[in-house]
A and B are shown apart, each in its own frame.
Chain A
Amino acid sequence: MKKYLVRGGLLAVLITAGFLLQTNLPGLIPLLQVSPNLLLIITFSVGFLRGKIAGMICGFICGILLDSFGGGILGYYTLIFLYIGYLNGLLARIMVNDMILLPLGLCLINEICYSLYVYIFGAFLLGKSNFGDYLRTIAMPELITTLFCTIILYGLILFCNRKLEQREKAAIERPALLR
Chain B
Amino acid sequence: MNRNEEKENGGFPVPASAMPRIVLFLLTICCVCSMGYYYLKKENVASFTQAAGLILIPFQKGINSIGSFVFDLEQDHLEMEAAREEIRSLREENARLASRIEEQDRMVYDYREAERLLELKDTYSSYDTIGANVIFKNASGNWYSTFTIDRGSADGLEKNMNVIADGGLVGYISEAGLHHAVVSTIINDSINVSGMQMSTRDSCMVLGDLTLMREKGVLRLDYMKEDFEAEKDAVIVTSRISDRYFPGIKIGYVTETWLNQDLLTRSGYLKPAVDFEHIDRVLVITEQKRIND
Report A's interface with B, CB cutoff 8 A. Answer: 16, 19-20, 22-24, 26-28, 30, 33-35, 37, 52-53, 56, 60, 64-79, 82-83, 86, 89, 118-119, 121-122, 124-128, 130, 133-134, 136-138, 141-142
Cβ contact within 8 Å between B46 and A74: yes
Tell me the minimal C-beta distance from B15 to chain A in angstroms. 15
The CA-CA distance from A79 to B33 in the complex, in Å, is: 11
Cβ contact within 8 Å between A30 and B74: yes
| Between-chain CB contacts (< 8 Å), 5 pairs | A69-B56, A70-B140, A74-B38, A74-B47, A75-B38
Residues from chain A with Cβ under 8 Å of B31 in the complex: 75-76, 78-79, 82
Given the known inter-chain contacts A71-B174, A77-B141, A82-B27, please indicate yes or no for A20 contacting B34, CB distance below 8 A. no
Given the known inter-chain contacts A27-B67, A126-B189, please indicate yes or no for A68 contacting B143, CB distance below 8 A. no
The CA-CA distance from A102 to B52 in the complex, in Å, is: 33
Tell me the minimal C-beta distance from B143 to chain A in angstroms. 5
Tell me the minimal C-beta distance from A6 to chain B in angstroms. 19
Cβ contact within 8 Å between B24 and A86: yes
The CA-CA distance from A121 to B212 in the complex, in Å, is: 20
Given the known inter-chain contacts A74-B45, A74-B47, please indicate yes or no for A68 contacting B38, CB distance below 8 A. no
Within the complex, which residue of A69, A71, A83, A86 is in contact with B184, where a contact is CB–CB below 8 Å? A71
Cβ contact within 8 Å between A70 and B47: no
The CA-CA distance from A86 to B63 in the complex, in Å, is: 31
Cβ contact within 8 Å between B44 and A24: no
The CA-CA distance from A35 to B20 in the complex, in Å, is: 31
Interface check B35, CB cutoff 8 A? yes
Cβ contact within 8 Å between B211 and A137: yes
Within the complex, which residue of B38, B45, B137, B190 is in contact with A26, where a contact is CB–CB below 8 Å? B137
Interface check B81, CB cutoff 8 A? no
The CA-CA distance from A96 to B126 in the complex, in Å, is: 65
Question: Closest chain A residue to B19 by CB distance?
Answer: A53
Residues from chain B with Cβ under 8 Å of A69 in the complex: 49, 52, 56, 136, 139-140, 148, 182
Residues from chain A with Cβ under 8 Å of B39 in the complex: 73, 124
Interface size class of B (residues with CB under 8 A): 35 or more
Number of A-B contacts (CB under 8 A): 162
Tell me the minimal C-beta distance from A118 to chain B in angstroms. 5
Within 8 A of A (CB), among B139-185: 139-144, 146, 148, 174-175, 182-184
Tell me the minimal C-beta distance from B275 to chain A in angstroms. 12
Question: Closest chain B residue to A63 by CB distance?
Answer: B31
Residues from chain B with Cβ under 8 Å of A35 in the complex: 137-138, 142
Cβ contact within 8 Å between A72 and B144: yes
Cβ contact within 8 Å between B142 and A23: no
Tell me the minimal C-beta distance from B282 to chain A in angstroms. 14
The CA-CA distance from A72 to B189 in the complex, in Å, is: 13
Cβ contact within 8 Å between B52 and A133: no
Question: Closest chain A residue to B159 by CB distance?
Answer: A71
Within the complex, which residue of B53, B139, B210, B212 is in contact with A66, where a contact is CB–CB below 8 Å? B139
Given the known inter-chain contacts A16-B56, A126-B190, please indicate yes or no for A137 contacting B30, CB distance below 8 A. no
Cβ contact within 8 Å between B38 and A118: no
Tell me the minimal C-beta distance from A130 to chain B in angstroms. 7
Interface check B32, CB cutoff 8 A? yes
Cβ contact within 8 Å between A82 and B214: no
Cβ contact within 8 Å between B59 and A20: yes
Residues from chain A with Cβ under 8 Å of B146 in the complex: 70-72
Tell me the minimal C-beta distance from A92 to chain B in angstroms. 12
Interface check B28, CB cutoff 8 A? yes
Residues from chain A with Cβ under 8 Å of B45 in the complex: 74
Cβ contact within 8 Å between A27 and B35: no
Given the known inter-chain contacts A74-B34, A79-B32, A86-B24, please indicate yes or no for A138 contacting B139, CB distance below 8 A. no
The CA-CA distance from A127 to B210 in the complex, in Å, is: 12
Interface check B23, CB cutoff 8 A? yes
The CA-CA distance from A105 to B218 in the complex, in Å, is: 35
The CA-CA distance from A26 to B139 in the complex, in Å, is: 11
Within 8 A of A (CB), among B207-255: 210-212, 214-215
Question: Closest chain B residue to A65 by CB distance?
Answer: B52
